Chains A and B, each alone.
Chain A
Amino acid sequence: MTRVAWGALISHWRRQPLQLVTLILGLALATALWSAVQAINAEARASYARASEQLATGTQAIIDRPGGGIALATYAQMRRDGWNVAPVLQGRIVLEGRQVTIVGIDVLTHPAAAVTGETPDLTESFLAEGRLFARPDLIARLSGVPDLPPLQANAAVPPGELWTDISVAERLLGQTGQLSHLLVLDPIDAGDLAPGLRLRVEEGNDTVQLTRSFHLNLTAFGFLAFGVGLFIVHGAIGLAFEQRRALFRTLRALGVPLRRLMLVLSIELLGLAVVAGALGLVLGHLVAAALLPDVAATLRGLYGAEVDGALALRPAWVLAGLAMALGGAVVAGTGALAKLRRLPILAGATVVVWAENAGLGSRRQAMAGVALAVLGVIALALFDGLVAGFALLAGLLLGAALCLPLCLSLMLRLGHSAASGPVAQWVWADARAQLPGLSLALMALMLALATNVGVSTMVSSFRLTFTGWLDQRLAAELYVTARDDAQGAEIEAWLAPRVQAVLPIRSAGDRLNGQPATIFGIIEHQTYRDHWPLLQADPAVWARIEAGEGVLINEQLAYRQDLWLGDQVTLAGQSMPVVGVYSDYGNPNPQAIIGMDTLLQLYGDVPNYRFGLRVPPAQVDAVRAELAERFDLPPGGLRANTEVKQVSKAVFENTFVVTGALNALTLGVAGFAILTSLLTLWTSRLPQIAPVWSLGLTRRTIALVELGRSLMLAAFTALIAVPVGLGLAWVLLNVINVEAFGWRLPMFLFPRDWALLTGLALIAAALAAGWPAWRVARVPPAMLLKVFANDR
């Protein structure tokens, strides 16, 4: 009997191979998208973990000299004075067209030697003729470069870096007698440092901190992919059950017990999920491998964080991917099996009744959706933080998705009652009848669209704000970085009569409320009054800063510590009131601005080798050329604000490249879900179409109607997705950004983007509906006639 049941079930797939393919593909695509994002995240995290494991342990303090290197003699003297510091000579060179970081260390003092020292070869090579240590992938890339010391693979070396002895590093970097910085191995007091030297405490998980914003992005997409995927899986499996309703009834009428049938179906379902999940993992791996170089480039460009270009098979995302496929199948299958349980052996509930029942269900669903959204809001009200923000996001998106069928059916009902012609009337009625079968795919589309709207609104709002902010913040026409204070003083003197103003950029490191922070000093100048981007300010803000009576803090600090106008901030032991808050994007750390005199008084003679120059636009090029000719400035020591802006904007855009790619992919997958739904609905379409055809509509007309209806549903979905997306953008800008980065961004609306996206959704829907419609246009009349004879 079981064999008979199996036979019947399998013969169904044999007769409807397309249904089987779409079911498996749908599941596979959902798994693919989800596991791809997981794989990228896992790979990047593993890279950071490797890096932080190898570079140093915990919080790493370093000593450097702003504007220059540290002389070898200075280092030796510090050692003789009892400082436990280790020298590092670090620099970038281009090998085989790729920037690599040369890290020269002294094995005898560098703490990382403890790690590398485990490999005896390593030590030998540091002291022998010289050897470069790098990860195998980098070595593979560099194998053809001439005149390099022998390369040796060592997995302990961070990605993108060549570790070697300082003697070799000196030769490769073409400098001698200089060090880049010193690692502080025993705690020291910054006050004991020689003038010009600076103690910097870097957070141990620096890269992790910095790249958090980026991964937040990816994680959000991971969730989205998960959501979209679940809907698709649910839809695909639900349809696989609907399609075989008649078969189930027949089997039961022929005496197959319900339990046996359910068991057989469960096994079939799990088998399908495993096959599709495996396929999805392969696809996901391909997608991740295709995206990873972009991700790696972004992270390298933005944060200098190195991520391997190679993708490893990690249990984390393999399991996540399979869990997605199986979990989705179980959730969807449970619902379908529950329905099967209630399915009467007789009573052929078909499309319309199904639709009517679905109507009831859609109301219940919508209620659940509203409840979810409300829960999200409550979560935000009760708890702070990123998690609550994400709870709100999830509630909002899922809630909206659950409300979608009801909204669509209300819209269709409205359209139906307004329809005048018989064809129009039929179209609306038919759309309503078709809605339940499509609603899951449409929910997936809605999620994809809403996220697109939300993310693009956030990115565009951010871009607009950021660009405006750059214009304000980079008010000086030229920026000069001298080699050291001596050269700085020379340049300053030389410039004084030649430009409108020389604005020194001087800063000291401090800790503000426990976090490493940078304190800037500014001189009295109109430029600040005119341009500095203040979010909140005392009426006499600039006068008070100049008088040393107050401090400006950045928005990050303000949000994180809840410090606003009038609150007190302690700088170098001295308490000062906040007289203003300024926006400061792209910087995760606290920052403050005080008058120059106050800075010097509190922090001593801080380095003075960076300047902003106010120059009449017409003279910028001339001043620049003269400066470059007259002074031996370090590379990149002279920049026009236009260049800085350009670079900043490029970096900004780079951050969202992957976001864009994932956006497009999600939309594509949602489009595919529509296609699979329409294709699986195909057989149930014929009984709908045949009568209308027999009454005198051409197949062409009907095909166009089919296409139009899908477009209409997509358009309605887009219509609903736009406000949901804007809600999402609002949450991203006002909750997530504040929690994650410490800045709140104003929201701008970009109707053109919405139109574009709606267009994209329509194209996706048209592509998805195109094939089924084409099949309608070409269906032979005999097939349609059979409808009137077939026993259904």
Chain B
Amino acid sequence: MIARLWIVLLVLLAPPAFAQGFAGLGTTAEGFALPDPDTTFDFPQDHLPHEGFRIEWWYLTATLSGADGLDYGLQWTLFRTALGQGADQGWRSPHVWLGHAGMTTPDRHFAAEKIARGGIGQAGVTSGPFDAWIDDWRMLSTDNSLNALRLTAGEGDWGYDVALQAQGPLIAHGAEGYSVKSPTGQASHYYSQPFYTVSGRLNLPEGPVEVTGQAWLDREWSSQPLAEDQSGWDWFSLSFDSGDKLMAFRLRDGGAGFRSGTWITALGEAQPLGDDQIVTTPLAHAQVAGREVPVHWRLEVPSRGVSVEVRALNPQSWMGLSIAYWEGPVQVTGSHTGRGYLEMTGYE
């Protein structure tokens, strides 16, 4: 019911954009602030909402190992969308918040969604300490940094409650956080904390499982991140057993698409990867929610000697929510081994 409503909402807000966009990633930005390559990050302030921008997210994924020996994954996402401008509080606030939570086992995938008005305290991100929440889903820090977080979400008979501890620095993508998304210049501000270790508990319908693992937080805000002809993306965040990490995405369009990424060393040094440095090749598709989705990839970064196969832990990791997309943990084999998360949007 709410889902249907949200779709309606999005259709109304940006009718031409929805077909290509994701979570309100519209192609127009009337009156909203635009990403500026000269901006540098200012923490902890930039952990908080940037209300002048149209959309923004706090996006956390974790690859986990259970005490039962099985692999798991979880996702916690908070989106902010501005339906208009203005700093009104209370019910007149123009902001709408959307929460997505996912939890994946080798053979099951759980997904849930929450939606809330801004300005009334039902959802938001505040400091002192850093606190991001929508209803009873929460990402709470011990201080104003993102170094130590507690993460909770769930719905009905499933949920999770895990603690995160950052083991490395924050990583700025692109040019000091200015991440270009198309050859014509669409961009966003984008940084990550890919060095979390995780411990905690997953609540499965049949009972709790203690888990440990790694997590990756993405922070991104913009007003117009997609070009007119872009229809979706494939986004990889991989943590290799070597300690190095790779973020790579391909924005699909009518032609060759647009690739971009960041090579992150185990020590926390970031190296932007350009369009010509990344090769993504779908190897196998799975029938997911009535459509063909590539769940087996070859990913190559020749400049770093990377040639790996990326396989979904559970090919059916479908987030069948008001905005439907594929998001789940992956196994990495080949030149490097490791685990990571794959997000694929825009598969109709």
Contact = CB atoms under 8 A, between A and B. Distances in A.
- Within 8 Å by CB, do A and B touch in the complex? yes
B135 A167 contact: no
Given A120-B11, A120-B12, A80 B133 contact: yes
B256 interface: no
Interface string A104-122: 0011110101100100100
B136 interface: yes
Nearest to B97: A108
Contacts of A167: 90-92
A510 interface: no
A73 interface: yes
A72 B121 contact: yes
Contacts of A632: none
B12 A72 contact: no
A700 B101 CA distance: 98
B304 interface: no
B8 A120 contact: yes
Contact of A165 (B8, B91, B133, B135): B91
B12 A108 contact: no
A546 interface: no
A690 B135 CA distance: 96
A106 B1 contact: no
A127 B10 CA distance: 12
A622 B85 CA distance: 55
Interface in A168-193: 170, 176-177
A72 B90 contact: yes
Given A80-B133, A120-B11, A170-B90, A111 B5 contact: no
Interface in B136-160: 136, 138
Nearest to A87: B120
Nearest to A165: B91
Contacts of B135: 79-80, 82
Interface residues of A, number: 27
A705 B5 CA distance: 79
A108 B91 contact: no
Contacts of A81: 136
Contacts of B133: 80
A79 B5 CA distance: 20
Interface string A428-450: 00000000000000000000000
Interface in B105-137: 115-117, 120-122, 133, 135-136
Contacts of B90: 72, 167, 170, 176-177
Nearest to B9: A123
A569 B4 CA distance: 48
Given A113-B1, A120-B8, A127 B122 contact: no
Contact of A108 (B4, B5, B11, B121): B5
B136 A111 contact: no
Contact of A123 (B5, B122, B136): B5
B266 interface: no
A72 B9 CA distance: 24
Interface residues of B, number: 23
Contacts of B5: 107-108, 113-114, 117, 123
A85 B121 CA distance: 14
Given A108-B116, A113-B1, A79 B122 contact: yes
B29 interface: no
Given A82-B135, A165-B91, A170-B90, A76 B121 contact: yes
Contacts of B83: 127
B306 interface: no
A124 interface: yes
A82 B96 CA distance: 19
Given A72-B121, A80-B135, A165-B91, A111 B116 contact: no
A72 B136 contact: no
Interface in A685-733: none
Contacts of B1: 111, 113-114, 117
B286 interface: no
A166 interface: yes
B4 A72 contact: no
A72 B8 contact: no
Nearest to A73: B121
B2 interface: yes
Contacts of A117: 1, 4-5, 8
A195 to B, nearest CB: 20
Most buried by A among B9, B115, B120: B120
A113 B92 CA distance: 18
Contact of B136 (A79, A107, A176, A177): A79
Nearest to A115: B1
Nearest to A124: B12
A75 B1 CA distance: 21
Contact of B120 (A76, A123, A124): A76
A81 B135 CA distance: 7
A79 B120 CA distance: 11
Contacts of A113: 1-2, 5
A669 B122 CA distance: 63
Nearest to B91: A167
Most buried by B among A82, A106, A123: A123
B291 to A, nearest CB: 25
A80 B4 contact: no
Interface string A44-88: 000000000000000000000000000011011101111000000
Given A113-B1, A117-B4, A123-B9, A108 B96 contact: yes
11 contacts: A72-B90, A72-B120, A79-B116, A108-B2, A108-B5, A109-B2, A114-B4, A120-B11, A123-B9, A165-B91, A166-B91
Interface of A: 72-73, 75-77, 79-82, 106-109, 111, 113-114, 117, 120, 123-124, 127, 165-167, 170, 176-177
Given A123-B5, A167-B90, 17 more contacts: A75-B122, A77-B121, A79-B136, A80-B122, A82-B135, A107-B5, A109-B2, A111-B1, A114-B1, A117-B4, A117-B8, A123-B8, A123-B12, A124-B9, A124-B12, A165-B91, A177-B90
Query: Which 10 A-B pairs have CB atoms at the shortest separation, nearest pair first?
Result: A76-B121, A167-B91, A82-B136, A114-B1, A117-B5, A124-B12, A166-B91, A167-B92, A79-B135, A79-B122
